[in-house]
Amino acid sequence: MDSNYLPGDFKKIIVSEEEIRGIISRIAKEITRDYSGKKLIICGILRGCFIFMADLIRQIDLPVEVSFIKVSSYGSGKEPGNIEIIEFDGLDKYKEYDIIVVDDILDTGNTFCRLEKYLKDKGFKSVNFCAFLDKPERRRSAVRVKYTGRQIENEFVVGYGLDLNEKYRNLPFVAAVK
């Protein structure tokens, strides 16, 4: 790799660009099939969702609407904190809509669990979840996630939207950090 990152910044590549393309294509097909004829909002959790979501929605062959939600979970570093909903660009017509919440990675499950209650209380027709990556070993909250890209081992990863203290989001692949 010809790059400005220092040798040794990353331990190893976990998900390559080619594998990412395959994951996006598969999930987009599943969503297109499952939501045909429905009014669908894809709602991304900021900021980690932004690259995955941008790629995903362009492969979904349905007239989807887009929304974002901001939650506080990781203050800094690698440890989770309390989940608080900071901002939801709520859309006032949600009662006729199905919603899929999209995130970069499913870790403890606390964020999805919190959002499930919040969005069901708002009256969406259905609330489902989509995570690009999944670390099943770390799960603490039981949540049913309808679409997942790939399971990974319990290690901290960056790239393709995922950050460590706001860095590395722009890597086109997913890597484990030192």
Active-site residue numbers?
107
Is residue 32 part of the contact set for ligand IMP (CB under 6 A)? no
The beta strands (E) that lie in the chain are given as 10-15, 40-46, 65-72, 84-88, 98-106, 126-134, 147-151, 157-158, 174-177
Cβ-proximal residues to 166 (8 Å cutoff; 6+ apart), any chain = none
The angle, 0 to 180 degrees and rounded to 10, between the axes of the packed helices 50-59 and 17-34 is 60
48 binds Mg ion (CB under 5 A): yes
- For residue 23, the SS3 value is helix
Q: Which of 40, 41, 111, 128 binds ligand IMP (CB under 6 A)?
A: 111
Q: Which of 10, 41, 97, 110 binds ligand IMP (CB under 6 A)?
A: 110
Stretch that binds Mg ion, among 2-10, 28-36, 46-54, 167-175 (CB under 5 A): 46-54
Among the listed ranges 2-10, 31-39, 94-102, 109-117, the one in contact with ligand IMP (CB under 6 A) is: 109-117
Cα dihedral sign, 55-2-77-173:
positive
- Min separation Cβ 10 and Mg ion, Å: 20
Least gap, CB of 39 to ligand IMP (angstroms): 26
| Residue of 157, 159, 160, 171 that binds ligand IMP (CB under 6 A) | 157
- Our finding on whether 109 is near Mg ion (CB under 5 A) is no
Q: How far apart are CA 105 and CA 40, in angstroms?
A: 21
* 7 SS3 class: coil
Closest residue (Cβ) to Mg ion? 48
What is the nearest approach in angstroms of ligand IMP to the Cβ of residue 115?
9
